[in-house]
Amino acid sequence: MEMSEQRKIRVVVAKPGLDGHDRGAKVVARALRDAGMEVIYTGLHQTPRQIVETVIQEDPDVLCLSILSGAHNAIFPRIMELMGENEIDDVLILAGGVIPEADRAELKDLGLEGFHGPGTPLKEIVDYIRNHLKR
């Protein structure tokens, strides 16, 4: 009852990097849509600039980034830098894909969170989003 009166949560699911592993991103996109969120999927091979442009245009509550190419340490900081330059600080930014534990602390410091890797139950992601919205 309460939920239906609320505005729908808006989510951009983005695939940075050159890898074509979009299975996880698409499954998560469907699950979020089934959970009543409004989902915009960018498609593959997005540059940091393209992703931030999508965020500016779509004004989402959540940005889900999925990457499995191993380029996260180069790409995520660049995305966060561009988010900063555009003064976007109220978007919850989640990271999915293969991101080794050892790399996470540094990415957390940049403002990324969640780290929902392979095997994460979809409900966990849905709940995480509902509990961590920044606006």
Q: In which residue are the tokens 């991101």 written?
A: 99
**Interaction with other proteins in 99-128: which residues (CB under 8 A)?**
100-102, 117-119, 121-123
Query: Considering the complex, what minimum distance in angstroms separates the CB of residue 29 from other proteins?
Result: 4
| 71, 18 contact by CB (below 8 A) | yes
CA atoms within 13 A on the CB side of 67: 22
Among the listed ranges 85-93, 96-104, 105-113, 127-135, the one in contact with other proteins (CB under 8 A) is 96-104
Asked if 18 is part of the footprint of other proteins (rule: CB under 8 A), the reply reads yes
| 18, 45 contact by CB (below 8 A) | yes
In this structure, are strands 113-116 and 62-67 parallel, antiparallel, or unpaired? unpaired
Distance CA 74, CA 78 (A): 7
Among the listed ranges 1-9, 37-45, 79-87, 88-96, the one in contact with other proteins (CB under 8 A) is 37-45
Q: For binding to other proteins (CB under 8 A), which residues are involved?
A: 13, 17-23, 25-27, 29-31, 39, 41-45, 47, 69-75, 78, 98, 100-102, 117-119, 121-123
